[in-house]
Amino acid sequence: MNKQTPLIQIKNLDLHFGAFHALKNVSVDFHAGELVGLVGDNGAGKTTLIRVLCGIHTPSAGEVYFDGTRVKTFHPKLAIDQGIETIQQSVGLCDNLSIARNFYLGREPVKRFCGLPLLDFAKMREMSGRVIRQFGLRENVSVDDEVERLSGGERQSVKIGRAVEFKNRVVIMDEPTNHLSVREREHVNELALQLRDQGLLVIYITHDIFQVHRLADRIVIMENGEKIEDASTETMSAEALEEVIRQGGRIVEKRDAV
Amino acid sequence: MLKSEIKRLVRRHTEIGILVISLCLVLLFTLTSEGRWANAYNIGTILQVTATLGLMTLGVALVIGTGEIDISVGSTFGIGALIYLWFAVRIDPVFAALLAIGAGALIGAFNGILVTRTKTPSLIITLGSLMIFRGLAIALTDGFSFSVPYKERDGFSYSVLGGTEFLGINTGFYWLVAGLAVLLIALKMTPWGNRLLAVGGSAASAHSRGVRVERIKLSAFIVCGVLAAFAGTLEASKLGFADGSMGRLMELQAIAACVLGGCVLAGGRISLPGAVLGAFVLSSVQSYLVVTGVRPQWFIFLLGLIVVFAALGDRTLRRWSLKN
């Protein structure tokens, strides 16, 4: 396996939401240039884990290292500045803003006019339009139209386009192919592989073990806030991994006991 | 083709509704008041009232844009007026105005910090500060009013701050135009404006993109406090006196003007020109009641009716524009 320093290292991570124990002693490493499938049922803790990585949640205990340096403050702005881009299911787009404005939200390009930072609309329109059209934005939709008018697939296109455009080191995809047509889905999967081949770390979250097994180098399975499996796709088949999910970790405990 | 273009126009410019209402009302008032409404003097008065109410409305609109609300602006207006007049007779009015604005910024920061740090609904916090600062104003003035002697009202600084007229219109109106222009640029053309509307549209999404949601909300509350106190300064300058009840119920008018102007109370969709037009409509209605001899007590009643119908009309128009 990869011997270099992990790009992201998580050690004994715990997260509580009041009385609810959302993440339990999770330890996992992620390396640059690998595509990791993060799999588990609803409520397994996959999304919570990546929300820690992208700075939305601050862990209750444990350590997170990015590129060998311990992360002390958790905020989405810091994560984005470090090059961690997340494509999330439910958040990421503001319906009331145009496509171009959403595309650049939080990192708007500016042109100085008498010292005033004014939005560089020409760049925002040109770049966002060019990138998102590759991912299936209809020709009759203008980048000045509000996101509210877009279909589920087109909304995803905006998020994926944004993740591709900015030079990132980590791209986290949370159920990226939901609401997408078959062709769009294939396109997104190809893109995830391209990003990996460019040396980025891609964390791909899904329910569909068979879909991600074809793409991933490694699969991490979670259940009830715990990591129950971390295996290379070369050594474990999709069927075996599916069995782990079905058995809910018991199969791993049995194997480890032996 | 034409219909879809109109729909696109309505979607992008929420102020279209209020523009149509304004034009209809101007026409109606002109035709039914036998020249008593549409004359230079009366229009000048309407624009002066629009100036102070409009500046206050601009601030409230920004706060509404972030998905919060500030109902304490009436008290901030009063505090601004009192501080200005107290100092205007002692130091240069420009410095007096700066002190009033500073007080407005502090009240805005007080509201903003409480709302963002405690996550308490802004309606509750600003209801509290509405009463706190109104109470302070009444208690500290102890039933008396502050005034500026007539002979001191013609200095340049005093005149520029709403104390006199320029080209037949109170100087306060020029401040409104300047304020609208500056805020419009800030809202539509800067990263701050983009983030402010994003926070109102979806605070969670804005946060996930790295936007400092609390800071944006705080900045909107501070700008709102500054504008309300400055509006109070202009009003005090125009009248030459102020007492503890100045600005009472103006918060309702400011919110009503925002709603009329196409600002959605849920946040994320506001129109600054629309909000100013809303203030103009309210000032015009008030003036129409006066010149036609209707008792001014009916104003609040009419205000309510206008707000309800405008909100319903705006909703219908928006739904229509979103239909494919």
pLDDT recorded at residue A19:
85
Structure tokens at A225: 């806030």
Cβ-based neighbours of A83, under 8 Å, separated by 6 or more:
A167, A168, A169, A170
With CA atoms as reference, report the closest residue to B270 among B319, B215, B198: B198
- Residue A12, Ramachandran bin (φ over 0: left; ψ between -120 and 50: alpha; else beta): left
User: In this prediction, what percent of chain A has a pLDDT beyond 70?
Assistant: 94
Q: Is A77 on the interface with B (CB under 8 A)?
A: yes
pLDDT bucket at A161, cuts 50 / 70 / 90: confident
- Average pLDDT score, chain B: 89
Which of A73, A96, A102 has the most B C-beta neighbours within 10 Å, making it the best mutation to test the interface with B?
A96
Which of A56, A85, A94 has the most B C-beta neighbours within 10 Å, making it the best mutation to test the interface with B?
A94
Domain that holds residue B125: 2-322
- Predicted confidence (pLDDT) per residue in B24-35, tens digit: 888 988 888 888
Single-letter amino acid, residue A257? A
Distance in angstroms (rounded) separating the CA atoms of residues B308 and A165: 46
Domain architecture of chain A: domains with CATH:
1-83+168-258 (3.40.50.300), 94-167 (no CATH)
Minimal CA separation from A141 to chain B, in Å: 12
Q: Residue B302: which CATH number?
A: 1.10.3470
Greater confidence (A148 vs B254) lies with: B254
Which of A97, A165, A166 has the most B C-beta neighbours within 10 Å, making it the best mutation to test the interface with B?
A97
Minimal CA separation from A146 to chain B, in Å: 9
In this predicted structure, the answer to whether residue B55 has a pLDDT above a threshold of 50 is yes
In this predicted structure, the answer to whether residue B303 has a pLDDT above a threshold of 90 is no
Minimal CA separation from A130 to chain B, in Å: 21
Distance in angstroms (rounded) separating the CA atoms of residues B170 and B45: 8
Q: Which of A96, A106, A110 sits opposite B268 (nearest CB)?
A: A96
Q: Number of structural domains, chain B?
A: 1
Average pLDDT over residues A38-51: 89
CB-defined contacts A:B, below 8 A: 89
pTM recorded for the entire structure: 0.86
Signed CA dihedral, A44, A47, A48, A50: sign only: positive
CB B210 to CB A94 under 8 A? no
In this predicted structure, the answer to whether residue A90 has a pLDDT above a threshold of 70 is yes
Distance in angstroms (rounded) separating the CA atoms of residues A130 and A125: 8
Average pLDDT over residues A72-98: 87
Cβ-based neighbours of A213, under 8 Å, separated by 6 or more:
A37, A219, A233, A237, A238, A241
**ipTM of the assembly?**
0.84
- Predicted confidence (pLDDT) per residue in B2-21, tens digit: 787 787 777 777 778 788 88
With tokens 């000045």, the residue in question is A144
pLDDT bucket at A34, cuts 50 / 70 / 90: very high
CB A92 to CB B190 under 8 A? no
State the Cα angle at A209 between A207 and A211, rounded to 5°.
Answer: 100
In this predicted structure, the answer to whether residue A258 has a pLDDT above a threshold of 70 is no
Contact B279, B54 (CB under 8 A): yes
pLDDT recorded at residue B319:
80
- Predicted confidence (pLDDT) per residue in B230-272, tens digit: 999 999 998 888 888 888 889 999 999 998 888 888 888 899 9
pLDDT recorded at residue A149:
81
With CA atoms as reference, report the closest residue to B125 among B7, B46, B221, B5: B221
Contacts of A119 in chain B (CB under 8 A): 189-191, 194
Minimal CA separation from B67 to chain A, in Å: 12
pLDDT recorded at residue A250:
63
Pairing mode, if any, of strands A201-206 and A35-39?
Answer: parallel
Q: Supply the DSSP string of B254-323, one letter for each residue.
A: HHHHHHHTT--TTSS---HHHHHHHHHHHHHHHHHHHHTT--TTHHHHHHHHHHHHHHHHHHHHHHHHH-
- Predicted confidence (pLDDT) per residue in B184-232, tens digit: 999 999 999 999 999 999 999 999 888 999 999 999 999 999 999 999 9
Greater confidence (B48 vs B324) lies with: B48
Structure tokens at B72: 């304490």
- Predicted confidence (pLDDT) per residue in B119-154, tens digit: 999 999 999 999 999 999 998 888 778 877 777 777
In this predicted structure, the answer to whether residue B98 has a pLDDT above a threshold of 60 is yes
Structure tokens at A236: 């474990």
Q: Which of A81, A94, A107 sits opposite B202 (nearest CB)?
A: A94
With tokens 């009916």, the residue in question is B298
CB A76 to CB B207 under 8 A? yes
Separation in Å, CA B136 to CA B72, B78, B82, B123, B139: 13, 10, 11, 20, 5
DSSP state of B107: H
Contacts of B182 in chain A (CB under 8 A): none
DSSP state of A5: P
User: In this prediction, what percent of chain B has a pLDDT beyond 90?
Assistant: 51
With tokens 């605070």, the residue in question is B203
With CA atoms as reference, report the closest residue to A202 among A243, A160, A244, A235: A160
With CA atoms as reference, report the closest residue to A168 among A59, A51, A84, A55: A84
Which of B7, B9, B182, B208 has the most A C-beta neighbours within 10 Å, making it the best mutation to test the interface with A?
B208
pLDDT bucket at A252, cuts 50 / 70 / 90: low
Contact B19, B281 (CB under 8 A): no
Cβ-based neighbours of A253, under 8 Å, separated by 6 or more:
none
Catalogue the long-range contacts made by A24-31 (C-beta closer than 8 Å, 24 or more residues apart).
Answer: A24/A224, A24/A225, A24/A226, A25/A62, A25/A226, A26/A62, A26/A222, A26/A225, A26/A226, A26/A227, A27/A227, A28/A220, A28/A227, A28/A230, A30/A6, A30/A170, A30/A201, A30/A203, A31/A2, A31/A4, A31/A6, A31/A7, A31/A201
CB B191 to CB A146 under 8 A? no
Distance in angstroms (rounded) separating the CA atoms of residues B63 and B89: 33
pLDDT recorded at residue A91:
83
